[in-house]
Amino acid sequence: MTEDALNDPQTTGQPSWQSKLPFFYGWVIVALAFMMSFMTAGVFWATSVIAIPMREDLGWSLSSIYLGLTIRGLVGAAAAVLLGRFGDLRNGARTAGVLSGIVAAASLVAVSQIDSHWQYLLLYGVVGGMTTAGTGFLVMSAVVPRWFLRRRGRAVAFATMGSGAAAFILPPLMAFLLEWVGWRGTWVALGILTIIFASLPALLIRRQPEDVGLIPDGRIIAPTKQSSASQPVRNFTASEAARTKVMWILILAIAAASLSPNGVPSSLVPMYIDKGFSTQVAAWGFSIYGLFSMLSRFFWGFMAERYHIRTVLIAIGLFTAAVMPLMLILPGNSVLAYSAMAGFGIGGFIGTQQLVWPAYFGRSHLGAIAGIVRPFATGVNAAGPLLMAQSFDRTGGYGFGLAGMTISWIVCAGAMFMARPMRSQAPEDTATQPLTESKPA
């Protein structure tokens, strides 16, 4: 008998230590996802600040540095295809998280020693990109939604707040470190933070509540009844989902909106510096974005529990489309308000996009389904920073890039309007299960 079987409450009939806690272990999963998304997104945000001294010291163009972001995203998309189904395995997300965190940390420390562009692209783009799926994607897409049904909106919103917190905390920290230890020492610091916030937390990940004698939202079921735990009436496999028209409409919506979440934040500091602000003020402008990106998850997460995710994403798309051009319009210091509005819209998308797949296709095969979607979304996401950098390098401004961002949000809203839920699909929380005890959630 394997070690997993010996520790499995379904096999032993003994309650797991997770089920004995005075609170629902799903909220621990949310906290772990928060930390891992904090670090995964934080490396992207930190790069936009570190790019300035790197450009000055190494003589590289902004596009050549942001090319590393693009490669990192594209390699991460390819890795997601391989790891998607792995996330549906019992210990898949945990193993991937620990190992990916270690490799990611090592690659960041190695970046501190580079002296040529190809080394940067290899270590930061290729090696680092291979780790992004394991340190963030699997937990957010395939683990957190499995732990909740009725409270899924707020749970996913809180979990994704890590990326907003990173944008709020890391830019000023990076600015301080750049003055203290230089850009090379700052990369070493990022490697250490990756071990703390990505690799170590992954040790506590559990795939789904049923694995530890619980069911979604914090209830306990008797071990003898574990096999009939509450499940949605209709769970699509990855191949079944891929054969539906609505799946590809949803992919279009999510991929289109994915152009901005890296493209706009990674360019905020350069855009503010281009408008005459100091690096410190520009970094604080980035922090304003992070703060509102983080706070917006509360609002949009609760909205997603009251309205269908389709309605919520239409609202986010239309709002953010109206915000994108304002960087070119707002005068003087009032342009700093752009960070707040962009953070509110983009943060809402980041905090709710993971709700699409369980809402339309159930939760049993989330890893495999998200693995299909990830290359499209991540590919577009990776192009965002490069689009903004090319806009500046070729035109001397960011108007062309921001126009592309605006169009992408209009496409997202339009596609979500077309993605009507399938009539034959029953809601996921209609199934019932005999309960033995209620746990505080």
> Residue 423: what pLDDT?
61
In a domain, 223, yes or no: no
> What is the rounded (10 degree) CA torsion for 291, 292, 294, 296?
160
Instruction: Give the model confidence (pLDDT) of 19-73 as tens digits.
Output: 888 889 999 999 999 999 899 888 877 887 898 899 889 988 878 888 888 888 7
In a domain, 64, yes or no: yes
Residues 6+ apart with CB under 8 A from 176: none
Q: How many CB atoms lie within 10 A of CB 394?
A: 10
Give the pLDDT score at 403.
Answer: 95
Residue 13 pLDDT: 55
- Look up the pTM and report it: 0.72
Q: In the chain, what percentage of residues exceed pLDDT 90?
A: 34
Q: CA-CA distance, 245 to 194, in Å (whole number)?
A: 39
Provide the pLDDT confidence category of residue 112 given band limits of 50, 70 and 90: very high
Do residues 152 and 303 lie in contact, with contact meaning Cβ atoms separated by under 8 Å? no
- Estimate to the nearest angstrom the gap between the alpha carbon of 340 and the chain centroid: 19
Domain-embedded: residue 433: no
* 431 falls within a domain: no
User: For the segment 337-347, what is each residue's pLDDT rounded down to a tens digit?
Assistant: 999 999 999 98
Residue-level pLDDT at 276: 85
**What average pLDDT does this structure show over 111-136?**
91
pLDDT band per the 50, 70, 90 thresholds, residue 222: very low
* Per-residue model confidence (pLDDT) at position 308: 92
What is the residue range of 141's domain?
3-218+232-424
Q: For position 39, which CATH number holds?
A: 1.20.1250.20
The pLDDT value recorded for residue 139 is 81
In a domain, 203, yes or no: yes
Q: Give the pLDDT band (50/70/90) at residue 12.
A: very low
Predicted local distance difference test score (pLDDT) of residue 422: 73
Three-state secondary structure of the chain: CCHHHHHCHHHHCCCCCHHHCCCCCHHHHHHHHHHHHHHHHHHHHHHHHHHHHHHHHHCCCHHHHHHHHHHHHHHHHHHHHHHHHHHHCCCHHHHHHHHHHHHHHHHHHHHCCCCCHHHHHHHHHHHHHHHHHHHHHHHHHHHHHHHCCCCHHHHHHHHHHHHHHHHHHHHHHHHHHHHHHHHHHHHHHHHHHHHHHHHCHHHHCCCCHHHHCEECCCEECCHHHHHHCCCCCCCCCHHHHHCCHHHHHHHHHHHHHCCHHHHCHHHHHHHHHHCCCCHHHHHHHHHHHHHHHHHHHHHHHHHHHHCCHHHHHHHHHHHHHHHHHHHHCCCHHHHHHHHHHHHHHHHHHHHHHHHHHHHHHCCCCHHHHHHHHHHHHHHHHHHHHHHHHHHHHHHCCCHHHHHHHHHHHHHHHHHHHHCCCCCCCCCCCCCCCCCCEECCC
pLDDT confidence of residue 110: 96
Select, from the ranges 234-248, 303-317, 389-403, the one with the highest average predicted confidence (pLDDT). 303-317
- Mean pLDDT of the 265-281 span: 85
User: Which residues pair with residue 214 across a beta bridge?
Assistant: 220
Q: Is residue 432 part of a domain?
A: no
Give pLDDT, residue 33.
92
Given a cut of 70, whether residue 5 has pLDDT beyond it is no
pLDDT, mean over the chain: 83
> How far is residue 247's CA from residue 264's CA, in Å, rounded to a whole number?
27
In the β-sheet with 219-220, what is the strand arrangement from edge to edge? 214-215, 219-220, 437-438
The answer, yes or no, to whether residue 90 has pLDDT greater than 90, is no
What sign for the dihedral angle of Cα 149, 255, 239, 424?
positive
Question: For the stretch 208-232, what's the b/e string if a residue is b when 16 or more beta carbons lie within 10 angstroms of its beta carbon?
Answer: bbbbbbbbbbbbbbebeebeebbbb
Q: How far is CA 381 from CA 154, 322, 418, in A?
A: 24, 20, 22
SS (H, E, C) 67-85: HHHHHHHHHHHHHHHHHHH
- Sign, CA dihedral 145-148-150-156, equals negative
d(CA 359, CA 202): 26
Q: Identify whether 430 is part of a domain.
A: no
**39 occurs within a structural domain:** yes
Whether the predicted pLDDT of 14 surpasses 80: no
Domain count, the chain: 1
